[in-house]
């Protein structure tokens, strides 16, 4: 009986405390305030000053082009924030009296339009229309019309392809651009593509020994060498054409049609419009547009495996890195950035032991467009992800010691190497009897920048892929680790 009374009393006190906590929430306070055609950042500063509200947010997610011209009289803070932040596609959480502002990822955006032949203005039925690097896309109907629903609240490229026509890519960064508009997309005939269709014996050379050898190299560089790559397959390699560029065995690859890849490790079938693939002097250039479609799982167990594999592929990826950079959460998400320099004496890329602060190496700036950012860098960078370790196959193939005794990235085919930033020498590990394959090394990747400034779109995509080249871990995973832009991790 006594125990029942104690438990009941505790339960009553807990309910009472919860009720008091709810009643004392800052969201229940009432306020009267007026905003005279001001931006959202100004609104937040005014609320902080006049209503004594404390905010926590990343300034990059607050739209500056949204103007507020409203008057509120004796309304709750909750009503006020719900109304104001919805105008900027934001939401909030109260944490110990502080209002934490977050960006909504998804919206109800829909894009509609029609695809026409530019000269004849005839509709093009069954054209392929999709959001680049996403699972969103549809074919046009018999009248050339299309409608794509549930577009994530991100900047994106709309890609349109049709056999015998030049592919088209249209960039969208403003939310307003797709609202209440019907887009007319005019396609131009591609004479080269038509010639390829009409020539019956176009693939005669594809069975040559030279092409088979180049295909093996392409397959490895394109799909990557990670565990996921082992479960990836190019379905229609016959659409590929290979050309040796010079006596150094550099080569380039073109595709006469959409290249289809089945990634059974992550559960996707991808249609890839290959624009350019070139391997030259150890540098790989791969530019194209991808449409992802989910494979049908054979069981719940397989679907759970795909979910886990996708989450692992996301962690430490380019998408993850850029999203964390935009949201101002690099350190919290497990990333560290260091500058790299070329050492002419050792012919190696090195990193300083005491790196500069992040804002002196890399900066991300919001532009006047809602989902578009400007990334500025002082030079090439090393990105360390401390949430995952390199696997054994990677270490065996790419790790050795530099002339200075440090562990380094190395690729004999690429004839280049990059030393680790921890400056640990091989001998210091040997004292403890440790071999290279026994060491747990964090995943390290390199971004080589062709320009000191390049555009980036939310949630995390380089919009000018020719501006950047990847080395290290990101090159190892390559296409087999790529996820659609509308993927979101469960955590």
SS (H, E, C) 403-466: CCCEEEEEECCCCEEEECCCCCEHHHHHCCCCCHHHCCCEEEEEEEECCCEEEEECCCEECCHH
* CB-based contact 271:260 (threshold 8 Å): yes
CA–CA gap between residue 491 and residue 180 (Å, rounded): 34
CATH of the domain at 171: 2.60.40.1120
389 and 462 both lie in a single domain: yes
Tell me: do 363 and 477 sit in the same domain.
yes
The whole-number pLDDT of residue 428 equals 36
Number of folded domains that form the chain: 4
What was the pLDDT predicted at 230?
92
Residue 193 is predicted with a pLDDT of 56
How many Cα atoms occupy the beta-carbon half-sphere of 437 within 13 Å? 5
- Asked whether the beta carbons of 406 and 424 are under 8 A apart, the reply is yes
Structure tokens at 463: 């919009």
Rounded CA separation 94/100 (Å): 6
Among left, alpha and beta (phi > 0; psi -120 to 50; other), residue 328 is left
| pLDDT in the model for residue 7 | 39
Helix (H, G, I), strand (E, B) or coil at 381: strand
Q: What is the pLDDT of residue 455?
A: 93
* Same structural domain, 372 and 422: yes
Same domain, 260 and 289: yes
Q: What is the distance between the alpha carbons of residues 252 and 291, in angstroms, rounded to a whole number?
A: 23
Confidence at residue 76, expressed as pLDDT on a 0 to 100 scale: 87
In a domain? residue 358: yes
Domain final position from 65, 85, 103: 103
Q: What is the DSSP string of 321-380?
A: HHHHHHTT-TTTTTEEEEE-EEETTTTEEE--SSPPPHHHHEEEEE-SSTTEEEEEESS-
> What angle is formed at CA 72 by the lines to CA 68 and CA 78, rounded to 5 degrees?
90
Last residue of a domain, one of 69, 103, 137: 103
What does the pLDDT profile of the chain (491 residues) look like in tens digits? 444 444 343 433 333 333 344 456 788 888 899 999 888 889 999 999 988 888 888 777 888 777 898 889 888 888 899 888 888 778 888 877 888 888 765 556 788 999 999 999 999 999 999 999 899 999 999 999 999 988 877 778 899 999 888 899 888 765 555 666 789 999 998 876 555 544 434 444 445 777 888 999 999 999 998 899 999 999 999 999 998 888 778 899 999 889 999 999 999 999 999 998 998 887 888 999 999 999 998 888 898 899 999 999 999 999 999 999 998 889 999 999 999 887 777 667 778 778 889 999 999 998 887 788 999 999 999 999 998 888 877 777 666 555 554 555 544 333 344 444 444 433 333 334 445 555 567 888 999 999 999 999 888 899 888 999 998 889 888 899 999 988 887 66
Asked whether residue 91 falls in the same domain as residue 112, the answer is no
Enter the pTM of the model: 0.69
146 lies in the same domain as 248: no
Q: In which domain, by residue range, is 436 found?
A: 315-481
Final residue in a domain of this structure, among 197, 226, 247: 197
The residues pairing with 260 across neighbouring beta strands, listed in sequence order, are: 271
| Selection from 70, 67, 151 nearest residue 371 by Cα | 151
- Structure confidence at residue 422 (pLDDT): 46
């Amino acid at each position: 009986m006594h125990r029942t009374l104690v438990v009941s009393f505790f339960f009553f006190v807990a309910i009472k405390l919860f009720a008091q906590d709810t009643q004392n929430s800052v969201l229940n306070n009432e306020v009267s305030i007026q905003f005279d055609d001001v931006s959202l950042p100004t609104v937040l500063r005014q609320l902080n000053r006049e209503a004594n509200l404390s905010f926590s947010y990343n300034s990059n997610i607050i739209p500056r082009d949204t103007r507020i011209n409203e008057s509120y009289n004796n309304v709750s803070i909750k009503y006020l924030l719900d109304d104001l932040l919805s105008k900027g596609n934001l939401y909030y959480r109260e944490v110990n009296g502080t209002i934490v502002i977050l960006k909504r990822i998804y919206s109800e955006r829909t894009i509609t339009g029609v695809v026409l032949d530019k000269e004849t203005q005839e509709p093009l039925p069954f054209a392929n229309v999709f959001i680049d690097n996403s699972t969103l896309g549809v074919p046009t109907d018999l009248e050339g019309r299309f409608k794509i629903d549930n577009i994530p609240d991100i900047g994106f490229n709309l890609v349109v392809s049709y056999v015998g026509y030049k592919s088209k890519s249209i960039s969208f960064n403003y939310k307003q651009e797709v609202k209440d508009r019907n887009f007319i997309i005019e396609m131009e005939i591609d004479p080269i593509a038509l010639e390829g269709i009409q020539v019956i014996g176009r693939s005669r050379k594809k069975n040559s020994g030279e092409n088979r050898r180049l295909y093996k190299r392409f397959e490895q560089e394109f799909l990557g060498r990670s565990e996921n790559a082992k479960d990836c397959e190019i379905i229609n390699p016959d659409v590929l054409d290979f050309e040796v560029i010079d006596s150094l065995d550099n080569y380039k690859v073109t595709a006469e049609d959409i290249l289809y890849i089945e990634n059974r490790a992550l559960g996707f079938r991808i249609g890839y419009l290959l624009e350019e693939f070139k391997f030259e002097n150890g540098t790989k250039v791969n530019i194209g547009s991808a449409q992802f479609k989910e494979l049908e799982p054979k069981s719940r167990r397989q679907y759970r495996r795909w979910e886990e594999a996708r989450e692992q592929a996301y962690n430490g990826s380019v998408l993850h890195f850029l999203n964390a950079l935009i949201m101002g959460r690099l350190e919290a998400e497990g990333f560290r950035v260091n500058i790299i320099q070329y050492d002419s004496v050792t012919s190696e890329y090195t990193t300083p032991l005491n790196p500069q602060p992040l804002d002196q190496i890399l900066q991300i700036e919001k532009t006047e467009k809602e989902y578009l950012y400007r990334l500025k860098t002082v030079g090439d960078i090393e990105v360390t992800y401390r949430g995952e370790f390199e696997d054994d196959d990677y270490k065996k193939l790419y790790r050795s010691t530099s002339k200075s005794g440090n562990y380094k990235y190395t690729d004999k085919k690429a004839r280049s190497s990059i030393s680790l930033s921890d400056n640990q020498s091989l001998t210091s590990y040997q004292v403890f009897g440790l071999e290279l394959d026994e060491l747990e090394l964090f995943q390290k990747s390199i971004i080589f920048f062709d320009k000191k400034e390049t555009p980036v779109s939310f949630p995390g995509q380089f919009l000018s892929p020719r501006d950047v080249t990847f080395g290290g871990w990101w090159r190892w995973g390559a296409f087999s680790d790529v996820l659609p832009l509308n993927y979101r991790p469960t955590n």
